[in-house]
Amino acid sequence: MTTPQNNSKQALFSSIQFGKSKLSNRIVMAPMTRNKSPNGIPTDKVVTYYQRRAEGGVGLIITEGTYIGHPAANGYAGVPAFHGEAALNGWKKVVDAVHEVGGKIIPQIWHVGAARQPGVEPDITVPGYGPMAVEKDGLEVVKAMSQQDIDDVVTAYAQAAADAERLGFDGVEVHGAHGYLIDQFLWEKTNQRHDRYGGSLENRLHFAVEVIRAVRSKVSADFPVTFRFSQWKLGDYDAKIAENPEELATILTALVNAGVDYFHPSTRKLFKPAFEGSTDSLAAWTSKLSGKPVIAVGSVGLEKEFRTGHFTREESPDSNTSVDVDALSKGIDQGSFDLVAVGRALLADPKWPNKVKKGHLDQLVSFNTKALDQLVI
């Protein structure tokens, strides 16, 4: 049955300004690692993969995490790089293909930090880099970053942002979530340094602030810089970088002052309350405390809450579609968030936005292993 379009959809499918660009609606493709770029170079299939989501009606695409030009930035096989002529040429094809069909796209730039494991490409001899050293079986698998290491990584982030603008992207997102390098500095458990980068929350913020300032300095004033952060980590769903709204305000204020234009707070369930004693979500708190536009995310379009086991196949990824358009539009209307990121639902169904807009909810494709195994669906 086709559901007639009604006023409940108006907010979700209204346009919004994004830097110099105007997005056709509030639906964002969330960044999702696909491991389909051999030697770090996006292929023609990667080009098609993103173009199909733009054709399917996504207002803004955020690419999968792309690793910056630092020897320890990558942590996984087949992940695309965002440095070097071959990889950047591949990304230029992606940008042009998305723009050709009227879409908008930004890259997510990334350093995995201590999550890097021994033997990972491109140079298997390079250990992980992080706030603190980590030894395993008598070997140092993570190097505690020196000031020079920190400066080198900050410079690499800035160069990636400059390259993003040069290639024609519509903005850039800095990945500061899920237990990767920037998040490792923010989280007290993974940052017990005794210099100006460790200790108090204000000190643990220094690295993120330096990255954002450097990125901001290398791009135009109207080139949007978004920042993705999370409480949860890949190995700890209950982790917190902010125990209360006051600590979250400290984090957000510092990042706004450094130059963040949009925040992308990553949660596993969009409307789940962020702090005890309040029904407000992390997105709503971020909007309220930062005064900046917010991209909300968290299992949108699916009945099953996100778990990393879905991607490692330790748990069944299968999930039926479940779209509460009224709730999403209400969140936008009430100012809880400005845009909504959709992840797994868009892997399974590139036409998800257009189907939802037309009320063809019975035609939505559920998420399953096929969506993970095949890049082009």
Rounded CA separation 225/258 (Å): 11
Where are the strands (E) in the chain, listed by range?
A: 16-18, 21-23, 27-29, 60-67, 105-110, 128-130, 134-136, 139-144, 172-178, 225-233, 262-266, 295-297, 301-302, 321-322, 339-342
Helix axes 245-258, 282-290, angle to 10 degrees: 50
The question of whether 180 is a catalytic residue gets the answer: yes
Which residues lie below 8 Å from residue 227, measured CB to CB, with a gap of 6+? Answer: 173, 174, 176, 208, 212, 255, 260, 262, 263, 264
Candidate list 49, 67, 180, 262, residue with the active-site label: 180
Q: Report yes or no: 320 and 302 within 8 Å, Cβ to Cβ.
A: yes
Q: Which two tokens stand for residue 297?
A: 């995310």
Burial of 98 (0-12, 13-18, 19+ CB in 10 A): buried
Q: Which two tokens stand for residue 302?
A: 């699916």
- Long-range contact pairs involving 288-292 (C-beta distance under 8 Å, separation at least 24): 289/245, 289/248, 289/249, 289/252, 289/253, 290/252, 290/253, 290/255, 290/256, 290/260, 290/263, 291/256, 292/252, 292/256, 292/260, 292/261, 292/262, 292/263
ω before 122 within 30° of 0 (cis)? yes
The residues carrying an active-site annotation are 180
